[in-house]
Structure 1
Amino acid sequence: MQGNGRGDDTVADDGIDWDDHAGRGLEIVTRLHALLDVDDTPSAGRLVDEVLSRMELADAVSSVLMPFLRHVGARWESGQLSVAQEHWASQLVRNRLAGLWDRVSVTDGPVALVACPPGERHDIAPLAFCVLLAHAGWQARFYGADTPLPDLAAVAARVRPDVVVLAASRRSAFLARAQEVRRLALDHTVAIAGSGASAQVAAELDAHWLGHDVADGVAEASRLVRRADAARPGAAS
């Protein structure tokens, strides 16, 4: 099969047990990789669209989109995928998330500023996090990859967000800016996320760790806001 624009619906989604909540994620990710291997990009795109229409958004992101991207990265590093294939897979997920992002409008609720620190260019996971935040009622503002922290701090001083989230795939991306992050944490609730984040790194930065999973990160961010509200003078006991 070649990527001739027609695709093959049988290869794309036939046989997937959509009611198997425990196993469908792995099955879909496996199917997406099979389609990527033969460059059947039309069918892969249709399968992702089917995932987003049939599954709860948080489940689709946590059990399909993010694992798919992680496996794509691992296969590219091992030489199993070309740069072109890796770029296409990343763009597929990015485009679908951007479409979801564009359709969400939240004008009330807690405010989150989400950005990647300088040197970090992997911004799809934080984009997914913003989409989930918005669907959970947050006013999420996404600043993307390689964001200068002084610029982000200036925005935070004006906006007074409930939380500032920094996301990075490498531990060094956080620690290289430790002083700036600690300075930001003096005035704002700062949280870190991504594969480079951990409880240990968060402690070194005077920040909070949102965990490994983007959907769980939304719940943890909400807990941070509730704790901050409860700690304010005059809050109901």
Structure 2
Amino acid sequence: MVWFHPDVYAQAVIDDDNPLGSNQTVGGPGSTHGDTWNVGGTVVVGDNGAGTLTVQQGGELTSGLSTLGTNGSSGTVTVTGSGSNWTASSGIRVGRGGTGIFNIEDGATVTSTQGRVGVIGSQGTATITGTGSAWTINTDLIVGNGGTGNLIVEQGGALITGESSVGENNGGSGTGVVTIRDAGSTWDLSDRLRVGIAGTGTVNVENGASVTSTEGQLGVSNNLGTVNVTGAGST
């Protein structure tokens, strides 16, 4: 399943049922993969059992398509600290048939081609916390993609995306909630924002946070879409 060469992998599965084990780290003294880990193909965290992956202390992870929580298992990825970075050349799926938890915090950055939070009957939660912390998605983001998705940007964090949907049917009823809160927290879209697309979607903008997009659509195809803007300075 895993091609072993000094920290160059064709595929990496992180759980109790695979050779890598259930807890992997990148960056800092004693990490399981040194300061840089290059996975040329897919990363799965939590496949046949729980899995945890932490990128810390300026560590750098590169991968292809990555999934957090599948096959009824839970997967957690945390990217933390200034200089810590994960670049996924394809998408990041937070919860796809399992439970996915994704944390970007304390100035860390993540870049991926696509983003999915809560896919096909799963539960996914993504949180971006702190000034300098950012998730850049070069194409589209879907929160609640046939599952239940929750995405939070807080304390000055940033989310940068192309077209995005909150609450979309993908072989199941999608329910998505995005909350952008606190002064300095932003969600910048280079395309349209759709809330409630054959599913139920909610966007909350709170306490001085801001969201910008080229276009907005609510409750497409007779579905439920809600946007709440509250607090001084929220836009």
One fold, TM greater than 0.5? Answer: no
State the TM-score, normalizing by the size of structure 2: 0.28
Bigger share in strand:
2
Q: Which has the higher contact order (CA 8 A, sep 6+)?
A: 1
State the TM-score, normalizing by the size of structure 1: 0.28
Whose Rg is larger? Answer: 1
